[in-house]
Structure 1
Amino acid sequence: MRIAILDDYQDVALSLADWDSLRAEVHVFRDAFEDEEAVVAALAEYEVVVAMRERTRFPSSTLGRLPGLKLLVTTGPVNAAIDLEAARRAGITVCGTGYFGYPTVELTWALILSAARLVPQQVDSVRRGGWQEGLGTSLRGATLGVLGLGRLGTAVAEIGRAFGMRTIAWSQNLTPADAQAKGAEYVSQDELFARSDVLSIHLVLSDRTRGLVGERELGLMKSTAILVNTSRGPLVDEAALIGALTGKRIASAALDVFDREPLPAGHPLRTLPNAVVTPHIGYVARDLYEVFYRDAVEDIAAWSAGTPVRTLF
């Protein structure tokens, strides 16, 4: 059996699980694939593929060109980048792994604090031999807006209250009663953007939510506001956001996700001084990676024994 482990950017997969127990040939791919042709060329000879979240896409067209693929394991319990129906038609078993969301919640607050207190600028100043630069702001008494008060959004709101922030929330399915039960004030969509000092996005990407934060919504925000996105890049109109940052119509954006990942080398978000940018590391934590890869090994062993577990269809 030949196993391909994809997008292991940190080169840690083999050290975090007992791959030897599978008695298989395991090959690690560290770098992202440029396009579908590169995916097909690289994986043509593999029976089993382990995908890291949604870094590599597996649409119907790709799956149809991988006749040798029999098992596709994705880290996490869902993966919007895999066409599950096409996999089923092709006879490819798709399995997931365990998951927990608190690393993303923690990173959300790391980004909020970094943007509010100008941490990247201060660190850069010290490294250049300087000292204090700019004037940050504290959070106590400020308004935290949560766009999407689900599991992760609720956890972010709880931490906001510990900082002494007022919490408001809106999403397409949220009700005033649900918001109140989670310790937040329900407001309209426009109020959310207009009143938030920090606006944190916690939505699932879908046709309905794609581009939900656009030029109009950004135009409602305070010039002192911070926009935070640790969910999915396409929830925000990236061009509109770059325009708002360049024109200083909002104070800053703290971003872990982007339309295209990895972020292209010359992308404006890499250099804008009022953008705090991390390379989609919300879920990149050792304890979660241990769950991902341990469960991936279990998935492969169970499938090999004819009793697949954690199947996604």
Structure 2
Amino acid sequence: MRGVFVDANESLAVIFERLQQPGDPKVRINRNPDLTPDEWPQVLDGAEIAVVDHTPLPTEIARKCTGLKHVVFLGTGARSYMNPEELAELGISVHLIKGYGDTAVAECTIALMWASARVIALMDREMRAGQWLREDGMQLTGKTLGLIGFGGIAAEVARIASGSGMRVTAWNRTPKSHAGVEFVSLERLLADSHVVSLHLLLNDETRGFLSRERIAAMRPGVILINTARGALVDEPAMIDALKSGHIRHAGLDVFNIEPLPADHPLTKLPNVTLSAHSAFRTPEASENLIAAAWEHCRRVAKG
């Protein structure tokens, strides 16, 4: 059985090579993180396993990938890049990797929250332009953080936020309990939270979950943090709420269009702090990620 890591950046390629063990299935590394979807068939060249970081795999392209049986997606958000159900009909299984970057993403969530509360990015931009801008920030100690969705990442966010003196509430689609976290209705969470952070998986049920109506139900002056998926939010409604001030500030690591175009409306708003879908990118998380990818490859090769 043969595989290809189709779109490895250099740092992931080095880790992938280092973690290979004797007896592992042969997996060739394509060091091209800018692979286009049309290049899939040529790069795979009949391989049965594809390890993929971020390159979309449209179903019509997958039909041309003769021999492909398994896609090992480096993360949990495969639906942003492919349709697992349609691929399954072609006999292609999609394998996800969970939990590898819970702490990394949680720390980025907290960083975006604090940067948003203290308007750090705006002051940095203004000072570089020669302006001595002094903005009042939001003091977060004693404030309420509302977590929408509660898995491993949200649990880490709750741990860090509780340690900084915040009250943590959460809503989850299935009942859960967690020490130090009060689980409440979605309506109460939206109304009470000074900061709302999204931690839902993207699927057909959660796409557009934070709708215009739910944004309107949020506490005026709320801070919104999204390190999950851009499509969870009604983007035009969020932009309108940012312009009106209903949303005080947004800290965003994920977007409907990635890379985010330079002329996108979000780049023009002063009350938005942006990061380039990099919440999970730490050496520790990358090590966990690639180790798990190899385990998938080994398991698949053994049948």
Bucket of the pairwise TM-score, normalised by the shorter protein: 0.7 to 0.9
Asked if structure 2 preserves the Cα contact closer than 8 Å seen for 1:228 and 1:254, the reply is: yes
3-state SS in 1 of match to 2:146: strand
How has the CA–CA distance of structure 1 residues 4 and 197 changed in structure 2, closer, same or farther, with 3 Å as cutoff? same
User: Hey, what's the Cα distance between the residues in 2 that align with 1:298 and 1:249?
Assistant: 46
Name the structure 2 match of 1:29.
32
Give the Cα separation in 2 of the matches to 1:23 and 1:7. Answer: 16
- 1:284 shift after superposition: 1.4
Of residues 296, 303, 307 in structure 1, which corresponds to 2:302?
307
Q: Give 1:265 deviation, angstroms.
A: 2.8
SS of equivalent to 2:29: strand
Percent identical residues? 31
Mapped pair 1:272 → 2:269: yes
Aligned counterpart, 2:212: 215
Q: Which residue of 1 aligns with 2:138?
A: 137
> In the aligned structure 2, how far is the partner of 1:58 from the partner of 1:50?
12
User: Could you tell me whether the CA contact under 8 Å between 2:242 and 2:271 is conserved in 1?
Assistant: yes
Unaligned segments of structure 2, at least 5 residues: none
Residues 198 and 225 in structure 1, CA contact (< 8 A), matched pair in contact too = yes
SS at match of 1:135: coil
2:154 is equivalent to residue 153 of structure 1: yes
In structure 2, relative to structure 1, the CA distance for the partners of 1:7 and 1:278 (3 Å cut) is: farther
What is the distance in 2 between the residues matched to 1:12 and 1:226? 33
Displacement of 1:5 in angstroms is: 2.7
Q: Hey, what does 1:198 align to over in structure 2?
A: 195
With over 3 angstroms needed to count, the CA separation of the structure-2 counterparts of 1:2 and 1:133, relative to structure 1, is same
Moved more, 261-270 or 231-240: 261-270
**Contact 1:143-1:198 within 8 A present in 2 as well:** yes
- Could you tell me which residue of structure 2 aligns to residue 115 of structure 1? 116
Q: Could you state the TM-score of these two structures normalised by the residue count of structure 2?
A: 0.83
The answer as to whether partners of 2:102 and 2:156 remain within 8 angstroms in 1 is no
1:41 deviation in Å? 6.0
- Cα deviation for residue 16 of structure 1 reads 1.8
Query: Which has the higher mean CA deviation after the structures are superposed, 155-164 or 125-134?
Result: 125-134
One-letter code of the match for 1:75? L
> What root-mean-square deviation, in Å, do the aligned CA atoms of Structure 1 and Structure 2 show?
2.9
Task: Report if aligned partners of 1:97, 1:291 keep a CA contact under 8 Å in 2.
Answer: no
- Aligned equivalents of 1:97, 1:209: Cα separation in 2: 20
Unmatched segments (≥5 aa) in structure 1: 309-313
Checking the alignment, whether the CA contact within 8 Å between 1:2 and 1:45 is kept in structure 2 is no
Is 1:3–2:4 an aligned residue pair? Answer: yes
2:165 aligned partner: 164
TM-score of the superposed pair, with normalisation by structure 1:
0.81
Q: Deviations over 1:185-225 (max 9, x none)?
A: 33332221121111111112222222121111211223321
**TM-fit CA distance, 1:136:** 1.2
The runs of at least 4 aligned residues of structure 1 exceeding 6 Å deviation read 19-24
What is the letter of the counterpart of residue 213 of structure 2? R
Q: Number of aligned residue pairs: give it.
A: 295
Q: Please show how residues 1-313 of structure 1 align to structure 2 within 5 Å.
A: 3-6=4-7, 8=9, 11-18=10-17, 25-31=28-34, 33=36, 36=37, 38-40=38-40, 43=43, 45=45, 47=47, 48-52=49-53, 55-76=54-75, 79-80=78-79, 81-84=81-84, 86-88=86-88, 90-92=90-92, 94-97=94-97, 99-174=100-175, 178-179=176-177, 181-297=178-294, 299-300=296-297, 306-308=301-303
Give the 3-state SS of the residue equivalent to 1:266 in structure 2. coil
2-side partners of 1:163 and 1:29: how far apart? 41
